[in-house]
Structure 1
Amino acid sequence: MHTASFESIVKTILIILLFYFGFKIFIKWFGPRILKYFLNKIGNKVQQQFNQPPNPAANKKGDVVIDKKPKKGRGSNKNVGEYIDYEEID
């Protein structure tokens, strides 16, 4: 049966701690920069879409556009089956 030596256990724990704290420091330093980069990228896309003129082919001059509210979902269906009156048995 193999047994782990004290040195190998300590070495493994130190490696795990090194990766853990290294990752924490990396996220602390570079996390805000990465987040700022992605937020700027998304902001630029939104700004480009906002600055684009509306599509002139969609609504030509003289066209009539009728917007309707969608019908509400299924209403109460009265035909759900027959009602069965249950009695409690003692």
Structure 2
Amino acid sequence: MVTASFTGFLKTIAILILVYYAVKYLLKVFAPVIIQQVVKKAEQSFYEQQQNAQQPQQQAYANTSDRPKEKKKVGEYIDFEEIE
């Protein structure tokens, strides 16, 4: 039969505290690098999306005859006010 001892309990608490501070220190050291990489990748992805979105528009309007024609103006806008 295995029984818990006070020294085993203290060792476990000491290991947990050591692991906590080690993780905290490592995150403090490596978090800026990781965040910088994530931001760089997101920026690159955004730039690529912008380029992909602009290319079809530039190709579509490359020729002036391909531009959409203006719609006919049917009338003018009249703003009505309520009379009490």
Residue aligning to 1:55: 56
Q: Deviation of residue 6 (structure 1)?
A: 1.2
Aligned positions of 1:1-90 closer than 5 A: 3-52=3-52, 53-56=54-57, 59=60, 61-63=66-68
Q: State the AA in 2 paired with 1:25.
A: Y
Which whole-Å deviations, capped at 9, do the CAs of 1:48-82 have from their partners, x for residues lacking one? 2334433149856143599xxxxxxxxxxxxxxxx
Which whole-Å deviations, capped at 9, do the CAs of 1:23-43 have from their partners, x for residues lacking one? 100100001100000100111
**Which protein is richer in helix relative to its size?**
2
For structure 2, list consecutive stretches of 5 or more residues without a partner in the other structure: 72-84
Cα distance in 2 for residues equivalent to 1:33 and 1:62? 47
For structure 1, list consecutive stretches of 5 or more residues without a partner in the other structure: 67-90
Alpha-carbon spacing, 1:7–1:27, altered in 2? closer, same or farther (3 Å): same
TM-score by length of 2: 0.61
| Percentage identity across paired residues of the two chains | 27
